[in-house]
Structure 1
Amino acid sequence: MIRILLTEDQAMVRQGLKMMIETDSEMIVTGEASNGKEALELCERNTFDIIVLDIRMPEMNGLDAARVIRTRWPQSKVLMLTTFNDYQYAMEALKIGANGYMLKDADSEALIRSIRSCLSGGLSLQEEVAAKVIPQLLKQTAVTSVDASITPRELVIIRLVGEGRSNQEIANELALSLGTVKNHVSQIMDKLELRDRTQLAIYAIRHNVV
């Protein structure tokens, strides 16, 4: 069962999101919080597979909570959820290391698909968000050559990560075992001194690999 912490300051919205998520029989909301501070307190006492965070909340917002979660509980995935279609929020979330960014107007299928993508190692960006974020990434950073230590096989894997593919999808496409792909991704991040897959995806975009 996939354990989810749902953090949203409006109770009615939170209950609606919970109902949407739990239409999937493999997902259960095992924790609810109304702000980032409460979310961190729940993380202290419980283990969650994924933490869904609203951006704007009282006491502690979702971005500040995500920074702490990525540092203290890196095994938990983070999905940012907001009504604000603003690339600056998404850019900040990606820099923090969030695994996905969705708008609240997404339907239940899109939300569940995004949660599964985050859990499988993919980078989930709603199309409207990606359309704003990717051009900004390209605009802000000059394209430079890929590190010389990267092998042709690793370059292909970087490209697929940049496209938002999960480890399983990469394994299927390249006819490799899941464990082999995980090892490749880990080695690539070590070579490039990157913290997580989100940073690797951004690296792929910045270096024109995608």
Structure 2
Amino acid sequence: MQNRSNGDEKHSGNGEGTTGGPARPNTIRVAVLDSHDLIREGLAALFAGTEDLECVGAWSDPQVALRQIENLQPDVLLVDVHLPEQAAFETLRLLPSISPQTRAIVTVDCREEQCVILNPHWNSASHQPLRVVSQAFSEPDDCLQIALKMGAHGVVRKQSSFRYLVQAIRSVHAGQHWMELPTATRLAQQYLITLRPGEAPAKSGVESLTLRERQVVTLIAQGRSNKEIAHELHLGYSTVKNYVSSILEKLALGDRTQIALYAIDQNVIEA
């Protein structure tokens, strides 16, 4: 597929920009915002071979993408959740104002069972510490939940097949929301607990910690000070102190050193 420049963006030879060729009738117009050249170029090629899908643009730069999306008005936008500088969530926030008809699907890397925030006992040599994306919510979430709260209409794991992605695109374009069954089940369970808080089972140990407390434990085990944790998580210094106090109480520990040792022993973080 030949790429050509549009507006103030010049063709870079790396699969970015708007795509050439006349528009096909009765197609879903898809755009891709992803930091990886291979994914952008690969998806554009796959869409070209799918009868009812057309790739109208593919970018790695969110600012360039937003300018061109305003003109292109695609039906569906695929957004990589791990764009630099938390740009995926800013894109989701701005999208309704610049292209109201565009519905967004967020692509994420890890599987549900491999999320170290949702499953602190899961361990992988490739695990990297979680970067918290926003403090705009009363309860901390994984990146998938944040994306949904920011307006995404669907979420797809990058480990999924192209056929699965096409199903997601068609469903979201038809006005539905799309997510895998384990994610939908987890969100439903969390919602039901808010309706029936008295039925929530008692938890202990790591399971008693909130997602934010697990994040604080992870950073403590990395040797971060309260000031550094506050900066990393976009929290106030006193808020971090309150989290540390809560962690000590829930885990029946005496100090930060014990928190760090506990985190390593319980695989809250990678040892």
TM-score (norm 1): 0.61
Identify the residue that residue 161 of structure 2 maps to in structure 1: 107
Aligned mate of 1:142, from 195, 202, 206: 195
Gaps spanning 5+ residues in structure 1: where? 145-210
Pick aligned residue for 2:149 from 95, 112, 131:
95
Matching residue within 30, 48, 72 for 1:46: 72
Show the counterpart of 1:133.
187
Q: 1:123 aligns with which of 145, 163, 177?
A: 177
**In the superposition, relative to structure 1, how do residues 133 and 16 fare at CA in structure 2: closer, same or farther (>3 Å)?**
farther
Cα displacement (A) at 1:44: 2.4
Q: Distance in 2 between matches of 1:18 and 1:130?
A: 29
Superposition RMSD on alpha carbons, in Å? 2.2
Separation in structure 2 between the aligned mates of residue 131 and residue 18 of structure 1, nearest angstrom: 32
**Which structure is higher in helix share?**
1
In structure 2, what is the equivalent of residue 17 of structure 1? 43
TM-score (norm 2): 0.48
Where in structure 2 are there 5+ consecutive unaligned residues? 1-26, 116-140, 198-271
Question: Aligned-pair distance for 1:136?
Answer: 2.9
Alpha-carbon distance in 1 for matches of 2:48, 2:154: 19
Cα deviation for residue 59 of structure 1 reads 4.7
Residue matched to 1:6: 32
Spell out the pairing of 1:169-188 with structure 2 (5 A cutoff): none
Q: Which has the larger radius of gyration?
A: 2
Name the CA distance, whole Å, in 2 between partners of 1:138 and 1:18. Answer: 40
User: Identity over the aligned pairs, expressed in percent?
Assistant: 23
Q: Which moved more, 1:37-46 or 1:13-22?
A: 13-22
Secondary structure at the counterpart of residue 142 of structure 2 = helix
Question: 1:11 is aligned with what amino acid?
Answer: D
| Matches of 1:24 and 1:114, distance apart in 2 | 14
Aligned-residue offset at 1:108: 1.2
Runs of 4+ in 1 over 6 A off after TM superposition: none
- Distance in 1, Cα, partners of 2:53 & 2:76: 10
> How many equivalent residue pairs?
143
